[in-house]
Structure 1
Amino acid sequence: MNQLNDIIEEVLSKDKRNKFTFLTGAGISADSGVPTYRGSDGIWVKGTRYHKPEEFGTYKYFKENQEEVWQYILFRKKMIENAKPNESHKILANLEKILGDRFHLITQNIDNLHRRAGNKNIYEVHGNYREVKCSVDCKEILPIPNNLTGKDIEEELRKDEIDSLKCPECGNWLRPNILWFDEYYDEKTNKKFSSLKVAKNSGVLFIVGTSGATNLPIEIARTTLKYGGYVVDMNIEDNHFTELLKDKKRAIIVRERSSDILPIIKEQIEKSIEQGV
């Protein structure tokens, strides 16, 4: 861990490009009981009863099967609402208080657990379940209707729920404010350019619980390296970041659970700040 300590002290001592940025994925929420997507027991591995995720999790499928997709989303909503932030979420919330505006959190998670833990400076690059928007983009992003409740997997939508899921502007279906497989990252929904700007100004990027299977996380890591920042990949197994980081002088690969390594990082940051680094 000496190299990690040296990185923390170096970044704390810098005047520019001195942000501590954490990029999180589904793995960080696993200890909260939220299934990952691509793990052996993940949602995208198991799929749904009838569909492959690459088919079901698309805008194209939603346009043809709105009620079915919303039924599944509300099943996921119930699962997420029953989950609680775990120690890793709480440590990141605490680090934001310690580091202030030098802390940034980029998350692929749509489960809202970072916000519930207390984080505020968050870039939700895959959107979230708190919001909806018109499926034909005629209206701004809206809060999810209050009458929508989490459901069991076989539970159908009520009429009042269907009515509330129609756009108040044009009457078309509302959709969740999330990124589907057949869509592209943008700034409005996904904070693409904002997150890349954060990466550019990061002294160190910690990758926590994400395999990097989509292109923006990889681009974030690549951007941090390009502008002289360090990248620390903290995952329990090799992933899409591994090839990018292999043999890079400013990269560290840590094959440990985030719940084991994040307390060490927090302790070292606190210690370095106390020592006036």
Structure 2
Amino acid sequence: MKEQLEQIIKEVYQKKNRNLFTFLTGAGISAESGIPTYRGTDGIWVKGTKFHKPEEFGTFEYFKENPEEVWQYSLFRKKMFENAQPNQSHFELVEIENLLQDRFHLITQNIDNLHRRAGTNQLYEIHGKPREIKCSNGCKEILDLPIEIEGKNQDEDLTQKDIELLKCQECGAWMRPNILWFDERYNEKTNKVFSSLKIAKNSGVLFIIGTSGATNLPMTITETTLKYGGTIIDINTEDNFFTAKIKDKKNKLIIRETASDVLEMIKNIIKETVVNS
């Protein structure tokens, strides 16, 4: 595996065109930080006796009918994210960015902000940012979540002040988290769809880490990189949708080890490559 990684990394580093090193991360990379996956059995907060599948609860349609419940869940997650700390994998990626500089790009499906807190700069958060809000009625401005609104425990309700701050000042409708829900389409403003596909087109190698490929933009990013001759490296603990997509391709490498171990190896290979170039 190491020899294959060395060959791929050195070849991409020496290219003049389509020479970006792109990393695509999902919930698996934050598992060591104690953040459960959204789709996992422990990954969705259940309020009271209501049980929801993520595809039902995590929708704009559900929010319109149950805005307070969705905001309680969002603020519960806010507290969880704030209490979590970036792990070794997040910091390895920061070191890799420091080595590669503008040839490094990180596309993440995660909304936990751990990559940014670790120090990553070239970051594209394609599922949005829950620390931002926008009007559910379509008023165009995107705002920061007011600092007065704090994270919640599971059994905490919204305060009257929370509710006031979560209403649009223009039209009075509920504000909503600036994230992508299951019944919504990717766009550039919130999800960087065109930017991430442009990066994919120019990527000599795409490292896929801790994500199964269950949403369509990550899969399209992978297909775009393959279409333009880039190599896909699937770093996950088990097979997934990406594996099925690339298994018959020549320009691929499938690695079934932990992200932190593989990223440390990748970092060391890149460091040696940069020094010797």
The percentage of aligned residue pairs carrying the same residue is 63
How many residue pairs are counted as aligned between the two chains?
274
Please list, as runs of the form range in 1=range in 2, the aligned pairs for 1:37-76 lying within 5 A after superposition.
37-39=38-40, 41-43=41-43, 49-76=50-77
Q: After superposition, give the CA deviation of every residue in 1:199-232 in whole Å (9 maximum; x if it has no partner).
A: 0000100000000000111110110010011110
Matched, 1:271 2:261: no
Task: State how far apart, in whole Å, the 2-side matches of 1:86 and 1:120 are.
Answer: 17
Q: What RMSD, in angstroms, separates the aligned Cα atoms of the two structures? A: 1.2
Quote the Cα distance in structure 1 between the aligned partners of 2:54 and 2:22.
30
Determine the C-alpha separation between the residues in 1 that align with 2:3 and 2:113: 33
Please say if residues 139 and 169 of structure 1, whose CA atoms lie closer than 8 Å, have aligned partners that are also in contact: no
Q: Distance in 2 between matches of 1:258 and 1:194?
A: 25
Match of 1:113 in 2: 114
Is the contact made by 2:92 and 2:260 (CA closer than 8 Å) also made in structure 1? no
Shift of 1:188: 1.1
* Further displaced range: 48-57 or 220-229: 48-57
For 1:152 and 1:182, locate their aligned partners in 2 and report how far apart those are by CA, in whole Å.
27
State the partner residue of 1:168: 169
Give the TM-score, by structure 2 length.
0.96
8 Å Cα contact 2:99/2:274 also seen in 1: no
How far apart, in 2, do the equivalents of 1:10 and 1:245 lie?
20
Conserved 8 A contact 1:47-1:53: no
Greater shift after overlay, 130-139 or 210-219? 130-139
Structure 2: gaps of 5 or more residues: none
Equivalences for 1:71-82 in 2 at 5 Å? 71-82=72-83
Query: Does structure 1 residue 83 correspond to structure 2 residue 92?
Result: no
Secondary structure at 1:72's aligned position in 2? helix
- The TM-score, its normalising length taken from structure 1, stands at 0.96
SS at the partner of 2:237? coil
Matched, 1:102 2:132: no
1:154 deviates by 1.2
Note the 1:108-147 alignment, pairs <5 A: 108-147=109-148
Question: Residue 205 of structure 1 aligns with which residue?
Answer: 206
Letter in 2 for 1:97: N
Return the offset for 1:47: 6.3
> In 1, are the aligned partners of 2:38 and 2:54 still within 8 Å (CA)?
no
Q: After superposition, what is the alpha-carbon deviation per residue over 1:60-94, rounded to whole angstroms, capped at 9, x for unaligned?
A: 00001100100010001100100000010011111
